[in-house]
Amino acid sequence: MLSIADPRALLQKHFGHREFLEGQEEVISSIVKGDDALVIMPTGGGKSLCYQLPALAGDGLTLVISPLIALMKDQVDSLVAKDIPAAFINSSLSQSEINQRLRAMREGELKIVYVAPERFKSPRFVEALQEIPISLFALDEAHCLSQWGHDFRPDYLRLKRALAQLGQPQVVALTATATPVVRQDIQEQLELGQHGRKSPKIFITGFARPNLTLAVSSVRGKADKLARIFDVMETYKTGIIYCSTRKNVERLYKELRAAKVRCIAYHGAFDEAKRTKAQTKFMSGEASVAIATNAFGMGIDRADLRFVIHYDIPGSVEAYYQEAGRAGRDGEPARCELLFNYADVKTQEFFLDGSNPTREVIEGSYSAIQRLCRRGPIRTAISEIATKIGNGRPNQMAVGTALRLLQRADAIERSYQGGRTYTTALVEPVKDIDDLGFDFDQLALKRQRDGEKLRQVIGYAGEAGCLHRFILNYFGDPHIKDSCGACENCSSRRNRIARPVSEDERALVRSALTAVLGVNGRFGRGRISQALAGSRSKAVLDVNLDANSAYGYLKSHGVDYAFSLLTELIQAGCLLISDDQYPVLSVTELGRDVLQGEAEAEIAMPDPGRARTKAKKKVEKRVAGRPMQAEALPHSELYDELKQWRFKKSRAGRIPAYMIFNDATLEELARFRPSNQDELLAIKGFGPAKARKLGKAVLAMIAGSVDEQESPPLEEFSYSSVEDEGWSEGEFNG
Ligand code: ADP
């Protein structure tokens, strides 16, 4: 049983924080009471503290199961820096090091130990744990237990057995993924609420991030996107731009470099050294903008990011909010902007197809390999195999996934040969596809669920109401207000009020209503806006939407304008959007009356020219040669001195700068200029351990610094180069 007399005192003493973040106190007091708990908090919500603080109060050990091996060392270093005895056990250690740590655990020398889930494969390891009193079993990234989570790890399935072998210790499972199906799965997989355990307490909290201004900008193409990026960088300086493909990362990186922006590029094809170099530049503050795929993020703990831009729409609201949520972790205002161009949905549809091959593609890939490998193993690229499958030219990424599935089912063997080439061999005897252990129903269900997630994030992009409300609703966070008054929709709605429409606008409204009426209740906003914009895409032509009488009517306005107009017509009550899995539009009675000229609706008409004119202006400005700089806001000389000192220390100690101090701490130090240890302890982020280790140096620097002055501009530095690469398996996944 844990006991804490004064959690706040522990918070201040060990972690240097004055207040709990939203939800932390409730979770901690429930854990201290002995409840099992399922904690759903967004990234950056402060989940770690929910088990780290109770760990200090228990007699036994807190075991933290985490799949993020790369981060364990940082996490442990940061605890040790706070005088908390902690260690990790993962594959980077030798057996004798592991034994040494197990001994320290047995002897009560450690309070918190991070363990990788694959350790539980070893019966010897579990036996060793049985000799150690475990007061809390904390399962981080608990969504890895769920096949429906975005990151399923089969090793997590061993944990149920481990819990039984360890005598059912108290459990806290933590994740940022809150969909009900994942939540349910976590409870079932861990058998919480069974074996004499009470049902776990569920906490869904902290999704509200009122300091983030959420915004969606409709853009028509690359020039618009670039213009928005420069706009945002000009005001917000420091942040991340997420792209959905490596190609987009590289393209944008070149563009921004050409404009002398201090930036780094980062994606999954970079080797370890290059990744670390880019990450260090960004974390140390040497670069202020990161252009990256979703590979960038795990462990990015730079709290002072003032913006996150999504260059392309991501595949789900979870992914969006997790990435966007990396902005403003210091609680200061930050902007999260999604650049929405309907055409980008195609990339996500490609990923969806690519990561969820149909039965036909899996079967076709297996047959093709059987034919190709008749005379033995072959050396070839996936693209080559794809041409041998049926007559439908399947998506190459889907073929790549199918081959991986076949490999996992021991039907084929593959080894990577570099470039785009693999050696592929058939495993004899050839089996019937139904005997390979695939659950095609489950695969189809997963595809359907991924499709649903994509539709939800498109829904977010088209949301006309409060974006914060949309997010809280999505995650099931009960702390919902009607509207935040702070997201772009809430603030622009205040300026853009529904009003009677002009004669010209009436024609636009009629065209949109006509388009919907022609296919009443059959299609959603996406397809109808494409038809209004005269798209020749397969999605439109296949269902004869080009025969709609309003087809192409809004061609000069573009598909995003059409999408916004449909959204406003829903808001105005002229259109109804269904509430089911595939939301479709239909015309309401008011809509019909408007169409027939028998009623006037008041509509907040979208502004057709805004994005385009702004884009043009920006690009012209750039071309005229005035370089755009994204750099730190002017700070006092002391601030810069402290930052410089932190940078050197971070380099010397090979630890990320934020682990020394975050920017908010630097700012407080520079503003309040503490002159002794007591005053130092009043600074945000300064606990006694830190004060002891670093206090003297910091106080000396403050005592010696001159008064406030504007800082000189920072110097340019050299950029890491981006390698050229071809398409390879997994190219799109970060
Ligand atoms: P998560 O695991 O939910 O993504 P972390 O546990 O890594 O989040 O915490 C995110 C950041 O918030 C860290 O920098 C951490 O030091 C900080 N943090 C946690 N709790 C508090 C608190 N009570 N006050 C201020 N900062 C906090």
Q: Which of 8, 11, 15 to mutate to test the pocket of ligand 1 (most atoms within 8 A of CB)?
A: 15
Any alpha helices (H) in 572-609, and if so which ranges?
589-595
Res. 591: pLDDT tops 50? yes
Give the closest residue (by CA) to ligand 1 atom 25: 17
Ligand 1 atom having least distance to the Cα of 47: 3
Position in ligand 1 atom list of the atom nearest CA 658: 14
The finding on whether 50 has its CB within 6 A of some atom of ligand 1 is no
pLDDT at 494: 58
Locate 559 and state its tokens: 């598909």
For residue 17, which atom of ligand 1 is closest to its CA? Answer: 24
Instruction: Tell me the pLDDT tens digit for each residue of 277-287.
Output: 999 999 988 99
Span 544-555, average pLDDT: 93
47 C-alpha to center of ligand 1: Å? Answer: 7
* Distance from the alpha carbon of residue 43 to the mean position of ligand 1, in angstroms: 9
Phi and psi dihedrals of 87, rounded to 5? -155, 175
In order, the DSSP letters of 411-454 are SEEEEE-STTEEEEEEPSSP--GGGS---HHHHHHHHHHHHHHH
Q: How many residues does this entry show for the chain?
A: 734
Residue nearest to atom 17 of ligand 1 (CA): 46
- Residues 681-690: what's their mean pLDDT? 75
Residue nearest to atom 5 of ligand 1 (CA): 46
Instruction: State the DSSP H helix or E strand holding residue 63, giving kind and residue range, or none if neither.
Output: strand 61-65
Residue nearest to atom 18 of ligand 1 (CA): 46
CA of 48 to the centre of ligand 1 (A): 7
| Averaged pLDDT for residues 628-633 | 33
Residue 554 CA to residue 516 CA, distance in Å, equals 14
Measure 49 CA to ligand 1 centroid, in angstroms. Answer: 7
**How far apart are the CA of 5 and the centre of ligand 1, in A?**
22
Q: Look up residue 422 and give its amino acid.
A: Y
Output the CA 301–ligand 1 centroid distance in Å.
9
Neighbours of 631 (CB within 10 A): 15
Atom 15 of ligand 1, residue of closest alpha carbon: 46
Q: How far is the CA of 643 from the centre of ligand 1 (A)?
A: 21
Instruction: Note whether 539 and 595 are within 8 A (CB).
Output: no
Q: What is the whole-number distance in angstroms between the Cα of residue 702 and the centre of ligand 1?
A: 27
Count how many Cα atoms sit within 13 Å of the Cα of residue 598 in the half-sphere of its side chain. 6
The rounded mean pLDDT for the chain is: 83
The torsion angles phi and psi of 544, rounded to 5 degrees, stand at 60, 30
Q: Is the pLDDT of residue 718 over 70?
A: no
Name the burial class of residue 532, with classes exposed (0-12), middle (13-18) and buried (19+) by CB atoms within 10 angstroms of its CB.
buried
For residue 21 and ligand 1, the question of a CB distance below 6 A is answered with yes
Ligand 1 centre to CA of 53 (Å) is 12
Greater confidence, 593 or 652?
593
Please identify which residue in the block is written with the tokens 């969606």: 216
Say if ligand 1 is within 6 A of residue 41 CB: yes
Looking at ligand 1, which residue's alpha carbon is closest to its atom 10? 44
**726 burial class (0-12, 13-18, 19+ CB within 10 angstroms)?**
exposed
Residue 558 has pLDDT above 50, yes or no: yes
> Which of 95-99, 101-105, 586-590, 681-685 has the lowest average pLDDT?
681-685
Q: How far is the CA of 214 from the centre of ligand 1 (A)?
A: 21
CA of 15 to the centre of ligand 1 (A): 10
Return the closest-CA partner of residue 401 out of 431, 435, 446. 446
**C-beta of 301 in contact with ligand 1 (< 6 A):** yes
Taking only the tens place, the pLDDT of each residue in 55-67 is 998 788 999 999 8
Name the residue of 19, 49, 77, 668 to mutate for ligand 1: max ligand atoms within 8 A of Cβ: 49
Instruction: Give backbone dihedrals phi and psi of 526, rounded to 5 degrees, phi first.
Output: -60, -55
User: Which pTM does this prediction carry?
Assistant: 0.64
Is the model's pLDDT at 326 over the cut of 60? yes
User: In this model, does residue 318 exceed pLDDT 80?
Assistant: yes
pLDDT digits (tens, 9 = 90+) for 175-211: 987 677 788 888 998 999 888 889 999 999 878 888 8
Of 103, 145, 96, 100, give the one whose Cα is nearest residue 120: 145
- Write a three-state SS string for 200-220: CEEEECCCCCCCEEEEEEECC
What DSSP string describes 630-654?
A: --PPP--HHHHHHHHHHHHHHHHHT
**CB of residue 43 inside a 6 A radius of ligand 1:** yes
Q: 692 pLDDT exceeds 70? A: yes
pLDDT at 593 over 50: yes
Q: How far is CA 617 from CA 25, 223, 226, in A?
A: 50, 10, 11
Given this model, what pLDDT does residue 5 score?
A: 67
* Ligand 1 centre distance from Cα of residue 178 (Å): 19
- Of 335, 231, 240, 226, nearest in space to 290 by CA: 240
Best probe residue, ligand 1, of 12, 18, 19, 21 (max atoms within 8 Å of C-beta): 21
Q: Which helix (H) or strand (E) holds 224?
A: helix 222-236
Split at pLDDT 50, 70, 90, the class of 485 is low
pLDDT in tens, 504-514: 899 999 999 99
d(CA 244, CA 312): 6
Half-sphere exposure of 366 (CA within 13 A, CB side): 24
